[in-house]
Amino acid sequence: MEKIKLLIVDDHRILVAGLKKLFENSATVQVTGIAFSGKECRSAIIKELPDVILLDINLPDVSGIDLCKEIKSRHPQIKIVALSSFNEYAIVRRILENGASGYVVKNAMPEEIKMSVEMAANNASFLCEEIDLLMRKHSKNPIWLTPREKELLKLIVDGFTNHEIAEKMFLGVETINSYRKNLLIKLGAKNTAILVRMALEEKLV
Amino acid sequence: MEKIKLLIVDDHRILVAGLKKLFENSATVQVTGIAFSGKECRSAIIKELPDVILLDINLPDVSGIDLCKEIKSRHPQIKIVALSSFNEYAIVRRILENGASGYVVKNAMPEEIKMSVEMAANNASFLCEEIDLLMRKHSKNPIWLTPREKELLKLIVDGFTNHEIAEKMFLGVETINSYRKNLLIKLGAKNTAILVRMALEEKLV
DNA sequence: TAAGAATACCCCCAAAAAGGGGTTTTTCAA
DNA sequence: TTGAAAAACCCCTTTTTGGGGGTATTCTTA
């Protein structure tokens, strides 16, 4: 059986060195390429046709989420494992929605990283322990805002008054008022301060 | 001349592997120890008495800032280079105030990391390029709040009304009103939403 | 096709915040 | 010791928000 061809995409040079070392003596995985940016990643894919990509979602030139989507649409057979420092629900959810087979935080155990690559290659999905826990916790009380509500929330966070928002959204001030009150109830926020805080902390905008 | 004795403290195993590799063939630096937590760090210091510590400021068990302070008070001769993913002014400033000789982001070039350790050992300070730029930018318009203003801002972010804040701070509501208006002017914020946003984004609280 | 969201609108009113003016006392450093 | 900054207080007014009720469309999906 052939070894799994792995492409590592991350601008953290030291981390990449660590990853290379991790797979150095692996019987199942072979690191066939390294890329430090989205651009390098694209050309590496064409050159090497990897089976799995370990993809940092914070690259200097492109959003990891967009890149993930792009890769999956062009090469659906390539499996992607997202690699990131963030353990935030919104980010994980978005990257999984965009075709990633796994998500591993950078301080995960080496075994978890190895595992994630092998699982991905076998068409299975994998989340490191920390993220798995996070997803379970959040799936209990998912905060789901309608597109319109998100739009409004963003404008509130940007500091516009109801009057200004009404103009921007081509709606009546009363409508904005209703929406706003609804948002407070929906998020259990007592006032604008809490609303803004939640929006920023939970990355709702 | 003796080699610089370096202790690496970071819970990101892969990154640590990369760092070890980085110094493997170094003529000037020798990695004498590895620690994956604050606890391990403390015992490693006693055992090995390193010259320089590469210290991740996001350890699982302790705040890197507190740990840095603690180490410097017990072993003033040990130089500390902070290692982090964050490029935020408030964090960098705080860690430098607490005795760090340098600050390097994790996606810095390997040369920068080597440099930072050597500079630290020679009693010089070092900031990686990205952080150096950040510090220059922010030193132009430092946002300085008085202790009382910070206290107030925190309560605003926590969603309390002027009335509630007045009770908590044992002050009159009018006083809170004045302070609050002053905060808006000082930070150039137009309303509470912007105030909360700035407080969170600039880590003023 | 009927229920349920989501969207958009309306009124009243009270509470809170924001904008404008001030004063006094304390604290701390030049 | 004398200023300047910080801390605390006060009044008036308008704007913005929040709390409580509603109603009427569309659009989707079971």
**What does the pLDDT read at residue A144?**
78
**What does the pLDDT read at residue A134?**
82
Choosing among B6, B10, B14, which should be mutated to test the A contact, i.e. which has the most A CBs within 10 A?
B14
C-alpha span between B155 and B150 (Å, rounded): 9
Bridge-partner residues for A7, per DSSP? A33, A53
Distance from CA(B138) to C1'(D6), angstroms, rounded: 24
Distance from CA(B170) to C1'(D3), angstroms, rounded: 29
Distance from CA(A103) to C1'(C7), angstroms, rounded: 36
pLDDT band at B87 (very low <50, low <70, confident <90, very high): confident
C-alpha span between B174 and B141 (Å, rounded): 29
Phi and psi angles of residue A134, each rounded to the nearest 5 degrees, phi first? -60, -45
CB pairs under 8 A between A and B: 101
A190 touches chain B (CB under 8 A): yes
pTM (2 d.p.): 0.72
Residue A146 in 3-state DSSP?
coil
Tell whether the model's pLDDT for residue B121 goes beyond 70: yes
Tell whether the model's pLDDT for residue B98 goes beyond 90: no
Which is more confident, B45 or A140? Answer: B45
Q: Work out the minimum CA distance from B105 to partner chain A, whole angstroms.
A: 9
Contact A13 B200 (CB under 8 A): no
Enclosing H/E stretch for A126: strand A126-127
**What does the pLDDT read at residue B142?**
62
Distance from CA(B161) to C1'(D8), angstroms, rounded: 18
Tell whether the model's pLDDT for residue B204 goes beyond 70: no
Tell whether the model's pLDDT for residue B10 goes beyond 80: yes
Tell whether the model's pLDDT for residue B141 goes beyond 80: no
C-alpha span between B197 and B205 (Å, rounded): 11
Contact A13 B157 (CB under 8 A): no
**What does the pLDDT read at residue A157?**
95
Helix, strand, coil % in chain B, rounded to nearest 5? 55, 15, 30
**What does the pLDDT read at residue B174?**
92
Q: Work out the minimum CA distance from A61 to partner chain B, whole angstroms.
A: 14
List all residues 6 or more positions away from B144 whose beta carbon is below 8 Å from its beta carbon. Answer: none
**What does the pLDDT read at residue A140?**
61
Look up the protein residue whose alpha carbon has the minimum distance to the C1' of D9: B175
Among chain A residues, the shortest Cα distance to B19 is held by: A14
**What does the pLDDT read at residue B55?**
96
Contact B17 A12 (CB under 8 A): no
A49 touches chain B (CB under 8 A): no
**What does the pLDDT read at residue B140?**
61
**What does the pLDDT read at residue A135?**
82
pLDDT less than 70: residues of chain A: 139-143, 203-205
**What does the pLDDT read at residue A204?**
67
Cα B96 to Cα A81, B11, B25, B104, B135: the distances in Å are: 36, 21, 29, 12, 11
**What does the pLDDT read at residue B152?**
93
Tell whether the model's pLDDT for residue B90 goes beyond 80: no
Look up the protein residue whose alpha carbon has the minimum distance to the C1' of C11: A174
